[in-house]
Structures are given as structure tokens and as C-alpha cells.
Structure 1
Amino acid sequence: MKSFKIFIAVACLGMAAMVTQAFTAIKKEKLTKAVTPGKGFAVIELFTSEGCSSCPSADALVARVEKEVTDKPVYILAYHVDYWNRLGWKDVFSSPEYSARQRQYADWLNLSSVYTPQIVVNGRKEFVGSEEGTLRNAIKSDLKIAEKDELALNNIKVDGDKATIHYTTGAVDNSVLIIALVQKNAATKVQRGENAGRTLSHVQIVTQLKTIALNNSKDGSDNISLPPGFDPKKWELIGFVQNKANGEITGAAKAEFPSVMSAQASN
């Protein structure tokens, strides 16, 4: 009988220890969830040109990254600048607007000049666009930082040569919403210049930028023009909220286009 009582006592102590461990584990799990940062994101802006011999390696890098991050909030935008056009080859995707955007980043980031290929991540850090390790580290780091201003793009409707986008965001103070129309991929056979004779492949090509003043409004809608022969499968929209004073990007989102048939049916 005495040994039986001892067995019961030991069993009770063991059960108590297990309950204590389980309770501790639950507390730790709740604590871990409580301190886990919110969803981060990375807006990768590549400044490139078909006239620059150093740019194809950066174009290839962002193409590789794009394939690897399909399940993550990573948004790639490739801007083709126009200042290389005078050196023998006119980049069909280039625009002075994208060169001006790059110069604005030079002001925000206190750079003495612009160059290609250049990558800017979330408007805060910049580096040579072909530096794979630097890019991957920047993405990894920024995915851990909580998004400051949530952004949603929804109710995309296509009507002829225009698309209507509805947006909601928590950012209104000293910020603008920028929506980019992005061509998912393309290829060009370059005839002249530093890349003469090469066929260059591109991804996430920005073909249009729309800047929307938020004016203390957390939601609204706007239109964006679509190219001739628009195929919704080959294009997407990327939006981001940017601080006008320092260039920091505080929220971002992506939206696919509905098929033309479903868009027409909803009108």
C-alpha cells in the first residue's frame, strides 16, 4: 500500500509537470505570435536601358527574383530611362518621365549623379542593379518590417481603352498614391549601340505612371489608359504609397486585370 501511494504521488507530480510545460508552451506561442512583425513588403525599382551594356545582367537578376517570390509581397518595377538614347539606340520602352523619377531619387538619397543599372528598394536604399547579394538581403530585411500603410487595389474594370481602379489606403499625410501599368515581359533585338546584335529580355516593364493626390481621402477611384491591343493576361497594376518629402514607400499592392469578357459583363 505504501509503494502504491508513492506511485500515485509520483504520477501526480509528473502530470503537474506536464501541465506546467504545456501551459508554458502555450504562453510562449502566444507571446511569439504577439511580437511577430506585421506583413512586410519590398518594392524593387530598377532603372535600366537597352543602350547600356551593364544593364542586361540586372534585367536577368530581377527576372530570376521575380520567379522566386511569387508567393511573397515583392513588387518589381523596371523603368527604362531615356538618357542612353542619344548614344546610338533608342529604347522603345524609355521615357523622360522615368529619368526624372530617377533624378528625384538622387535628390531624396543625396546622390551626386544617376547611373544604370540602379535599384532602389522601398524608396530608402539604392545600389548597383546587378548586385545579387545586396538585392536579396534588402528583400529579406524589408519583408520583416511591418507595413506602415496598408493599400488595396480592387474592383478593376476594363472599358475600352481605359481601366478603372478603386483603391483604399490608410495613408493620407504628405503622401501620394502611384499606380504603374506594367507589361509582364517583352524582348527586343537591339540593332545599334552598346548591345548591338543582342536580343534582350525584359520583365515588369513600366509603361505608364499615374500619381494620385490623396488629399486626406482614404479611398477613391481613378482611371488609367490601356495600350492598343490590350491583353489582360500580359499586364498588371502595381500601386504604392510614397512620402513626398523623403521618397519612402510605406505600402504597396498588386492587382491583376479581369478578363475582357468578365469586365464587359460587369459594365
Structure 2
Amino acid sequence: MLFLLTGNTIYSQNISDKKGFALLELYTSEGCSSCPPADDLMGKIQNEYKDSNVYVLAYHVDYWDKQGWKDIFSNADFTKRQYDYAEFMKKSPIYTPQVIINGKADYIGSQETSVRNGIKSAVSKTVLANINLETTQKDTNLLVNYTVEGTSKNSRLFIAVVQKSAKSNVKRGENAHRVLSHYQIVRQLQSVDLNKTKKGTASVHLPKNFNKQDFEIIGFIQDMNSGAILGVKRA
């Protein structure tokens, strides 16, 4: 155990010194019995690299909702996003728990060694685009001022409103009678077309329980021709 902890600490320091980044997009569900280990791994990674260039987004899909338990965080838009990745990567069928790193490679979300190798590979690459984000809350909306550089012809800026953690008491389905821990839950995802302007302000609707301590804002640029993530930044 001591050897593993030491190894992880060194690994974390090496990553933070590199110029690249890793955006981990987890597709998960409270109705999937193989998902909790992946959720826990994402929480572990988020805690390890929360101040570095590794970012975690957990999307709760809705196709498990008819299997006995409706995930309170599920969203049909997130299922569509996962299907879009299947098209980008020419892989089917979709599954949970799936982790996609930088829009280019996918991994079984509970396989820690594979996911960590994917992070190491991702951060060794050069950043292709830069983002600057400034946010101001106005009532139930968040105004996000953005400036981007180095985008491709068909790029979009995605702004994710992320709840850092939550627990759910699951009463039915594959995870019946379990209390599940979730991390980096995407509560809202809004996209901005960057073909017309590289600078502007986007208005994002906030969930009712939004507060600055328990949530964060992550913006990333995606090439909509290939699915590749070009850059990412916390607001």
C-alpha cells in the first residue's frame, strides 16, 4: 500500500509539470451495478489532480432509467453525447461505465491501470487551443465571458456546470439498497458555436441548489468533425 501511495504521488507531480491535459468524460448510471467502482475511481482521480491539468466530468445517462430505478441526475442529452462519441470513434454499442479521454480514446471506467495510462498518454500531447473564462452570477443564470484561440473550423465551446459530489440512496434496480457516491456530476452542459466569433458571453442556467462551494464550471473546446478535445479550463 505504501508503495502504491508513493507511486501515485510521484505520478501526480509528473503530470502537473507537463503542458498537455486530460479531460475524462465518464458515462455512468445509478442503475448500473458495474458503475459505482468507476464513480469511485473518478472521485479518487479528481481529488488527486484537482489543482492540475486533469479534469473529470461525469455524465449520467438515461437508458438505465427503465431498468427499475430512475437516476436523479440522468439526462437524455448526455445519452446523445455518448452516441455522438460512438460515431466519432466508430465504436458500438455504447456502454457504462465508459470513460473517454480527450475525445479520442475510451476505457472501461473501473479499470484503474488503463485509465491512468490513458491520462499519462493524454497529458504528453501538445495543447491545441487556449480558453479564458470569467464568470458572473446573475440570479439563476451564470454569465460566462469567453475568449478562445487556436480553434479548428468546426469547433464548439462547451460549458459544464459541475456538482462536485453527492450521495444517493438507491432503493431499486441493480444497485438496490446501496448508498452511492458520485463525483463531478454534470448538471448542465451548454454549447457555443465558435465559427462566428472567438469572443463573447454565454448565459448558462444554474440548478436550484447551485453554490460556489459545491459546484465548479469547466469549459472545453471540441472539434465537431473528429470529436477531439482541443483545450479545457476551469473558470
TM over 0.5: yes
Q: Is the 8 A contact 2:21 2:53 kept in 1?
A: yes
In the other structure, the counterpart of 1:135 is: 115
Work out which of the two has the higher radius of gyration on C-alpha atoms and give 1 or 2. Answer: 1
Q: CA deviation at 1:38?
A: 6.9
Distance 1:119 1:227 in 2: 25
Q: Is the 8 A contact 2:159 2:217 kept in 1?
A: yes
Match of 1:153 among 121, 133, 144: 133
Q: Is the 8 A contact 2:22 2:102 kept in 1?
A: yes
- Larger strand percent: 2
Please report the RMSD computed on the Cα atoms of aligned residues, expressed in angstroms: 1.2
Q: CA deviation at 1:142?
A: 1.4
Distance 1:51 1:152 in 2: 37
Q: Is the 8 A contact 1:174 1:244 kept in 2?
A: yes
Distance 2:141 2:196 in 1: 26
Q: CA deviation at 1:230?
A: 2.5
- Consecutive unaligned residues of structure 2, counting only runs of 5 or more, are 1-16
Q: CA deviation at 1:140?
A: 1.2
Deviations 1:98-117 (A, max 9, x none): 01100111111111210000
State the AA in 2 paired with 1:129: G
TM-score between both structures, scaled by the size of structure 2: 0.90
State the AA in 2 paired with 1:46: L
Match of 1:196 among 171, 176, 180: 176
1:1-267 counterparts in 2 under 5 A? Answer: 39-154=19-134, 156-170=135-149, 171=151, 173-255=153-235
State the AA in 1 paired with 2:223: N
SS of equivalent residue, structure 2 residue 207 = coil
In the other structure, the counterpart of 1:12 is: none
Q: Is the 8 A contact 1:183 1:206 kept in 2?
A: yes
Q: Is the 8 A contact 1:38 1:147 kept in 2?
A: no
Q: Name the stretch that deviates more: 120-129 or 216-225.
A: 216-225
Deviations 1:182-232 (A, max 9, x none): 111100000000000000000100011101001242211111011224221
Deviations 1:43-68 (A, max 9, x none): 10000000000000000111111111
Q: Is the 8 A contact 1:165 1:222 kept in 2?
A: yes
- Consecutive unaligned residues of structure 1, counting only runs of 5 or more, are 1-36, 256-267
SS of equivalent residue, structure 1 residue 85 = coil
In the other structure, the counterpart of 2:7 is: none
- Larger helix percent: 1
Q: Is the 8 A contact 2:18 2:123 kept in 1?
A: no
Identity of aligned residues (%): 45
State the AA in 1 paired with 2:145: H
Distance 2:33 2:105 in 1: 24
Distance 2:60 2:181 in 1: 13
Distance 1:70 1:76 in 2: 9
Q: Is the 8 A contact 2:163 2:187 kept in 1?
A: yes
Distance 2:74 2:36 in 1: 15
